[in-house]
Amino acid sequence: MALAFCYNLRAKDRRGSRLVMAELEDFSALIGDIYDASLDPTLWPGVFEQACAYIGGTSSFLASQETVSKITQVHFNWGVETEYVQSFCDKYSRLNPTFPTMVFFAVEEPYGVPDCLPREEFCGTRFAKEWVNPQGYIDSLFANIDKTPASCAAFAVFRHFKDGFVDDKMRQRFSLVVPHLRRAVLIGKTLNLKTVEAAALADSLDTLSSGMFLVDATSRIVHANLSGHLMVSEATVVRAPSGKLGAIDPQADQSLLDSFTAAANGDAALGRKGIAVPLRARDDTRYVAHVLPLTSGARRKAGASYRAVATVFVHKATLELPTPPEAIAQEFRLTPAEQRVLFAIIEVGGAPEVAEVLGISEWTVKTHLRNLFDKTGTSRQVDLVKLVAGYADRLIG
Note whether 55 and 153 are same-domain residues. yes
Note whether 30 and 109 are same-domain residues. yes
* 249 falls within a domain: yes
* 5 falls within a domain: no
pLDDT tens, N- to C-terminus, the chain (397 residues): 444 444 454 554 555 455 456 677 788 889 999 999 988 889 999 999 999 999 999 999 999 987 666 789 999 999 999 999 999 999 999 888 888 678 778 888 999 999 988 899 899 999 999 999 999 999 999 999 988 766 789 999 999 999 999 999 999 999 999 999 999 998 888 776 667 766 666 666 666 778 999 999 999 999 999 899 999 999 999 999 999 999 998 888 999 999 999 888 888 888 777 778 889 899 888 898 999 998 888 888 777 777 889 999 998 876 555 566 777 777 888 888 888 888 777 766 778 877 877 778 888 888 888 988 888 888 888 787 777 766 655 544 4
Note whether 228 and 352 are same-domain residues. no
Q: What is the residue range of 237's domain?
A: 199-316
Note whether 230 and 173 are same-domain residues. no
Note whether 337 and 291 are same-domain residues. no
Task: Provide the residue type at 95 as one letter.
Answer: L
β-partners of residue 72 are: 65
Note whether 184 and 205 are same-domain residues. no
Q: Which of 316, 351, 374 is the last residue of a domain?
A: 316
* 8 falls within a domain: no
Note whether 272 and 351 are same-domain residues. no
Q: Which residues contact 359 (CB under 8 A, 6 or more apart)?
A: 97, 121, 122, 123, 124, 125, 126, 128, 129
Note whether 240 and 161 are same-domain residues. no
Note whether 93 and 205 are same-domain residues. no
Q: Is 220 helix (H, G, I), strand (E, B) or coil?
A: strand
Q: How many domains does the structure of the chain reveal?
A: 3
User: 310 near 292, Cβ under 8 Å?
Assistant: yes
Note whether 264 and 209 are same-domain residues. yes
CATH of residue 143's domain is 3.30.450.80
Note whether 283 and 345 are same-domain residues. no
Upstream peptide bond of 114 is cis (omega within 30 degrees of 0): no
